[in-house]
Structures are given as C-alpha cells and as structure tokens.
Amino acid sequence: MRLDRRAFLSAAAAVALAGCASQPTGGTTSTQPRRGGRLRAAFAGGGAQESLDPHLANLFLEASRSKAMFDKLADYGTDVSIVPRLASRWESDAELSTWRITLREAAFHDGKPVRAADVLHSYARIADEKRTFRAKANLALIDLKNSRAVGDRTVEFRLKRPYAEFPNVLAAFGAYIVPEGADEFARPVGSGPFTFGSFQPGRSLLVRRNPDYWDGAPYVDELEYLIANEESARVNAVLGGQADYAHDLTPATARTHEAGGRMSIIRLSNSGMQAFAMKVDRPPFDDPQLRKAMFLLADRSQLIDSVLGGAGQVGNDLFGKDYLYYAADIPQRTPDLEQAKWLIGKAGATGLQIQLDTSAAASGFLEAASVFADQARQAGLEVSAKVGNKDTYWADVLNKGTICCYRSGAMPIETHLSQRLLTNSTTNATKWARPEFDALYDQAVASPDEARRREIYQDMQRTLHAEGGFLIWGFADWLLGTSPRLRGVANAPANTLDWARFDKVWLG
C-alpha cells in the first residue's frame, strides 16, 4: 500500500476541517494496554531502491524500521544518556583502553542466540574500509583485529586510545547487531521486537509481533510502515482511517488540527537543534567581537514563534539542552541591540554585506534566514539569504561560505564535541580549531572520574558560549499526528530509543 496525495483527497474533504485534539505531552495513556491489531505508521521514505540493511539506515523511516527488527548493544535515553540494550553491562580496565561487554540472553528471529561472534561480525561489517556505513566513524577507535569473544556472551573490545565514553559508541546511530555472516537483507533476521513479514520497496513494510522478544513482546500483532512523502498524504491517511501514526508534521499543520477529535498532535520536545553556523577561520567571523554581536542581535523568541510556530524552546548557543553534561548554569542570552550595534561599530563592520547560506534542505531554513536577516539589519549589518541546492547543501556549507543555517538531531554532548568541534573533526562546519580545546577533550575522555569529565565538558561549553561559531537559537519540538485509538506514544527526542518505537504502544 503506497500513500499519495490523490489517494486521500476524498478523505481529506470529509474530515480535514473537523480538527484534531492537541496532546502536548505525548501520547494518550488513559486506558490499560491491550494486545492485538495492526498498527499502520506513515513516514516519508526512500524510493524503489531502498534497503532493509540496518547498517545503511539514514532516513527517519529507515531508523524506525531498523529498531523494529534489530537491536543495538545500547541506545540513547530521553536525556541522551546511555541505556543498555543487548548489552546487560559494560566495564573497562583501569586504562580505559579495554572494555568488556556482557550480553544479555536474547535470540534472533530464527531462534539462534545472540552471541559475541555476532557482535564482532556486525562491527567488522560496519568498519569495512570498502563500504560506507553511517556508524563507521563511531567505531573507528576500536582495534577490531585485537578485540575478541570471551565465550558466547562476552565481548572484549581493545581500543586504539583510552576512551571513557565508550558506551556512546555502543549506542551509535546504525550500530545494529546482525547474525554472524549476515550480508543480505531481503528477508532480515534480527533480534528486535518484530519479525519480517513482507516488503515492497518504496511502498510498504509489514512486520509481525515477536512473542519471544527479550524486552517483552509488542502489544500489537502487526506493524505496517507506509510510504507517504507528502505531509498532506500522511495527515489525510490518519484522518481517513488508513493510518494510525503520521510522522514529521509542520507547526502550521499542527495548528490547523489542534482542536477536535479526529487526530491527536503529539509534541516530542527538544528534538532538534536550530542554529546558524559561523566560520571562525575566515572574515568576517574570525573577529570575536562580530561573533558576539551576532549572539546579541538574535531575537531567539521571535525565531521560535516565526519559524517554529512556537513549537520549541529558546537556545543559548550550546548544543544539547537538558542533556547529560549540559552547562545549564550559563545565563541565558537575551537580545541587546544597542550592545550589538556598538560591537559591530568597534569591529568596523557597520553596513557590512554578509551572505547567509540557506536552502530547502531542512524545514524552516528559508524562514529562519529571512527572519534573522531582518534582525541583523536592525543592528547595522546587511545580511542577504542565498538559497542553495537542497540536494548538495550539507556538502556545500561544510567548507564554503561564512555563515549558514544549521540543525542537528539528538546525540550525546561528547559526540557533538568530537564530531564537530575538534581540529580534525570531519563535520566541523564552524571551523573551530584550537589545540587547547582539543587537549581538554582528550583529558575528558581519558578520565575515569565522571565528575572530572563533567567539569571539563562544562569548561569547554563556557568557551564555546563566549567565543564559538554556533549561534544556537532554539530547540524544535518534533510533531506527530496519531489516531485517537493509538495509545502509549512516548515523548522522546528524535533518534532516541523511545522515538518512533512501536513495541510499547497499543491500539485502544
């Protein structure tokens, strides 16, 4: 079954004006869980060439499908702390260079137990130099040649350097465990809560309840993923009774359906960082005074209201609001237009023309660029938005230009630092490069003392808040639409364990 706009025109006409009940805290839980039924979830997806290989997962649809059929050793909790999954425990040696992972008793869908050999095969497959899997960079610090299985339920990982945050690696996006030797996924065999049923690439995937799942069997008998690339088709599918869950709605759509009873609007708070990335290695943002002026001229509340329709929280130029290690004690920045003007004048930048790169690569980018350009003009800067190619945007802005629209999903603060803010980080969009900052990171991840790591991460964040290149203006809520009969949807940020997770929901 493929969902498209035309398929639901009649349903839309009948119900679109009826409205929907708002459910800001995520999910209705007023009834006791019950078993049975087929849950249908509508996502935007890939085309006819899409794969069920969990190591290739990149789209939100692919991530949800992968967690339905497979497990990782660990995953992200709602505060992006690490929670155990197939790993029941982990411990390191005193040097933090060898980590021993104990596996829980779990089985693949064919009845075979999940073993240490399966873990080593999965990680070796991801790390294969000839292939490109998303989790490959995360696993790069593992010395797989010298790692080994200690019996069937223990894995001993040798690392290339001491690393206190190794559990973050176990939870990396796409680091799923597959059976030893598995390299073909036309009919996937995983250890997840649902077993493979049928697959029509670009159209649908049907999976069935795994009664022997180690974390408890799902409530629903079947789960069907439906492809609906247009938001209107996803919404109309729920309104017309063809789906129970519509992923990724815009604030405008949520406002349209806030009152009524046909569909519930669920807000997954703090799901996406919204920012502008200034490159600090080149004019004009190599001048710290101008960067500070940009921080002060930004009216974050206006951006939240105008771009996100109020569906978000104000940012404070730091990643990971409310996450583990977040520097919440740093005072919130507020607009100070006069101080911003003074700093711009001191930098000799009054009237300076600045190109702000943006595109339709992400929802809200075009609107954010327009609103921020107006704010900058009030402070004496002539900012103009340049709309780039949405298909090449992320590659283009990584090294080109001086300032761009930027966003990020959930990840640990340590991962954000290592992937984006070290001299050799591969996705360093702000070109922040300071040896002393790199040294602080190395100290943190080499320390077995959690309190000491927290202290160092706080110091690093204070430096970034004062002098960095990320102007982080907000954290967007992720918006979903569900049918009134769907219960138990968790309020969890995108890309965490409980986001788009269907083994703990039920049909009322």
CATH code at 34-69+192-263+483-507: 3.40.190.10
Give this prediction's pTM: 0.85
The 3 state secondary structure assigned to 271-333 is EEEEEEEECCCCCCCCCHHHHHHHHHHCCHHHHHHHHHCCCEEECCCCCCCCCCCCCCCCCCC
pLDDT at 17: 29
- Residues 125-171 pLDDT 10s: 999 999 989 899 899 999 999 999 999 999 999 999 999 999 999 99
Nearby residues of 454 by Cβ (< 8 Å), 6 or more positions away:
325
% pLDDT > 70, the chain: 94
CATH code at 71-186: 3.90.76.10
Task: Write down the domain spans for the chain.
Answer: 34-69+192-263+483-507, 71-186, 270-477
β partners of residue 354: 383
β partners of residue 92: 99
C-alpha R_g of the chain = 23
Q: Which of 381, 402, 383 is nearest to 281 (CA)?
A: 402
- Do the first three CATH levels of 34-69+192-263+483-507 and 270-477 match, i.e. the same topology? no
- Residues 181-202 pLDDT 10s: 999 999 999 999 999 999 999 9
Domain 270-477 listed as CATH 3.10.105.10: yes
pLDDT at 363: 82
* pLDDT, mean of residues 32-38: 95
Q: Which of 285, 302, 292, 275 is nearest to 354 (CA)?
A: 285
pLDDT at 297: 98
* pLDDT, mean of residues 54-83: 95
- Residues 402-436 pLDDT 10s: 999 999 989 999 999 998 999 989 899 999 999 99
* pLDDT, mean of residues 258-270: 87
Lowest mean per-residue pLDDT among 18-32, 116-130, 328-342: 18-32
